[in-house]
Amino acid sequence: MEIRIGIANTARELNFESAQSADAVAKAVSTALESGQPAVTFTDVKGNSYIVPTAGIAFVEVGTEESRRVGFVA
């Protein structure tokens, strides 16, 4: 699924594909914000890790878990 994270005072967003479920991503972000952790870590499908400071998170958009269609849609 695609994850898009907006970071405060930054013009660009962080976009990546993750193998985690939408619930797991939402729980990781909410737990980090509620407990006051300084950062939250994500891993994409290629194995890259992203460490995002919780103080700078403007928004987190989690895509749907539906598979992509291949071909033309009429």
Q: Among 51, 50, 59, which residue's Cα sits nearest to residue 26?
A: 59
Q: Among 51, 8, 9, which residue's Cα sits nearest to residue 28?
A: 51
| Residue ranges covered by each domain of the chain | 2-62
Cα of 57 vs its chain's centroid, Å: 11
* Residue pLDDT, tens place only, 48-74: 999 999 999 999 999 876 666 676 766
41 close to 14: Cβ distance less than 8 angstroms? no
- Cα 70 to Cα 44: distance, rounded to the nearest angstrom: 22
What's the pLDDT score for residue 61?
92
Q: Residue 62: how many CB atoms within 10 A of its CB? A: 19
* Residue pLDDT, tens place only, 22-36: 889 899 999 999 999
What's the pLDDT score for residue 65?
65
